[in-house]
Amino acid sequence: MRRGPIWALLLHNIDLERRIVRICNNPELNRINKKNKQVDKPINSKLYNYLLADLRKAMDTSSIEKVKKLYEETADSYEEMMNGEIELPIYSDILSRLAERITNTPGPVIDTSCGSGHMLHLYNTQFDPKRSLTGIDLSQRMVEISSTRLGSSAKIIIGDMCDLSMIKTGSAAAVISFFAIHHINPKQVMAAFKEWHRVLSKKGQLMVATWEGTGQIDYQDETDVIALRYKKDELITWALESGFKLDKCTIEPVEEIPMEAMYLEATKI
Ligand SMILES: C[S@@+](CC[C@H](N)C(=O)[O-])C[C@H]1O[C@@H](n2cnc3c(N)ncnc32)[C@H](O)[C@@H]1O
């Protein structure tokens, strides 16, 4: 069989972000393309979906213990960072929309990875002071920080966003998950979406934010925790397959961060 340029391709020549394959010479395998051709070939949707699914199979996130350790160590500086971040209009936009949408839906708002509690606090003080609130987080230090911030206006507990067995089926008005699903692999994200769907009442709202993309998050030398970026299509598929109706999914640039944030809003049907 004649071996072609694809056979000699190194994996880093597949660029899923730009949806191209860089056809290159590979001297290590003695492969020099005809007339030294080095071109970019587009990847069609069928091949893209195949490659992405294949890539995901080989990717896993760091263990829950390692993620917990990261946030135990960084919770205080995270809180400090969020003191400024929470002023960004995106948080008020999303939370005011959430309050409007659940005006007639009883039940708590549950933040499944509440971190320093800034989102629940903003929600409580600006948009829906009578609503009962529950914050869940893996990190004990984050739970302490959140509890101090929210006082008696929320119940804050240590837990895993993928397992809300302490919450009754169909009882919650909303589930929030901001910048945490990058710590779980695709199978766990699917399981988490199903769990969030279970606890929500009919017409309950789901608000998810995460980092958009295909590869790992580049933490530079801050940590060696492996966390994953997800594509818009993947996030939407998980929401729809878990029984949600999609209301909105947007991708937004973030100042001083070389990644884009993705925001999904969905309703339990
Ligand atoms: C980047 S912080 C985001 C915190 C908050 N949602 C925000 O947007 O400010 C990620 C948070 O997710 C929590 N976390 C990570 N994995 C978790 C899990 N499996 N269950 C619950 N919380 C988790 C971490 O402890 C940390 O507080």
For residues 131 and 108, the answer to whether their CB atoms sit within 8 Å is: yes
Per-residue confidence at 36, pLDDT binned at 50, 70, 90? confident
Q: Quick one: how far is CA 110 from the chain centroid? A: 16
2 has a pLDDT exceeding 70? no
Ranges in the chain annotated CATH 3.40.50.150: 64-268
Average pLDDT, integer, range 38-50: 89
Q: How far does residue 56's CA lie from ligand 1's centre (Å)? A: 22
Q: How far does residue 53's CA lie from ligand 1's centre (Å)? A: 25
d(CA 191, CA 184): 10
Average pLDDT, integer, range 31-38: 82
Q: How far does residue 6's CA lie from ligand 1's centre (Å)? A: 41
CA distances from 30 to 21, 26, 34, 36 (A): 19, 6, 12, 12
d(CA 183, CA 204): 24
User: Angle 195-253-196 (CA atoms, 0-180°, nearest 5)?
Assistant: 5
Q: Which tops the pLDDT comparison, 54 or 165?
A: 165
Average pLDDT, integer, range 241-255: 96
Q: Which tops the pLDDT comparison, 97 or 218?
A: 97
Q: Whose CA is nearest to atom 10 of ligand 1?
A: 180
User: What residues does ligand 1 touch, defined as CB less than 6 Å away?
Assistant: 64, 67, 71, 82, 113-115, 118, 136-139, 142, 160-162, 178-180, 183
CB count within 10 Å of CB 148 equals 12
Residue 136 CA: which ligand 1 atom is closest?
21
For residues 151 and 123, the answer to whether their CB atoms sit within 8 Å is: no
Q: Quick one: how far is CA 135 from the chain centroid? A: 17
Q: Whose CA is nearest to atom 15 of ligand 1?
A: 180
For residues 24 and 38, the answer to whether their CB atoms sit within 8 Å is: yes
Q: How far does residue 136's CA lie from ligand 1's centre (Å)? A: 9
CB count within 10 Å of CB 53 equals 11
For residues 122 and 146, the answer to whether their CB atoms sit within 8 Å is: no
Poorest-pLDDT segment among 3-17, 70-84, 242-256: 3-17
Q: How far does residue 179's CA lie from ligand 1's centre (Å)? A: 7
Percent of the chain with pLDDT over 90: 77
Residue 70 CA: which ligand 1 atom is closest?
25
**Residues 6+ away with beta carbon under 8 Å from 169:** 198, 199
For residues 37 and 23, the answer to whether their CB atoms sit within 8 Å is: yes
Per-residue confidence at 4, pLDDT binned at 50, 70, 90? confident
Average pLDDT, integer, range 142-148: 98
Q: Whose CA is nearest to atom 1 of ligand 1?
A: 179
CB count within 10 Å of CB 92 equals 15
231-248 as b/e, with b when 16 or more CB fall inside 10 Å?
A: beebbbebbeebebeeee
- Residue from 65, 116, 138, 254 to probe ligand 1 pocket by mutation (most atoms less than 8 Å from CB): 138
Q: Which CATH architecture has domain 64-268?
A: 3-Layer(aba) Sandwich (3.40)
Q: In what order do the strands lie in the sheet with 20-23?
A: 14-15, 20-23, 39-42
Q: Whose CA is nearest to atom 19 of ligand 1?
A: 160
Q: How far does residue 71's CA lie from ligand 1's centre (Å)? A: 8
Question: Which neighbouring-strand residues pair with 254?
Answer: none
Q: DSSP characters for 158-226?
A: E--TT--TTS-TT-EEEEEEES-GGGS-HHHHHHHHHHHHHHEEEEEEEEEEEEBSSSB---TTS----
Place of tokens 């995901």: 56
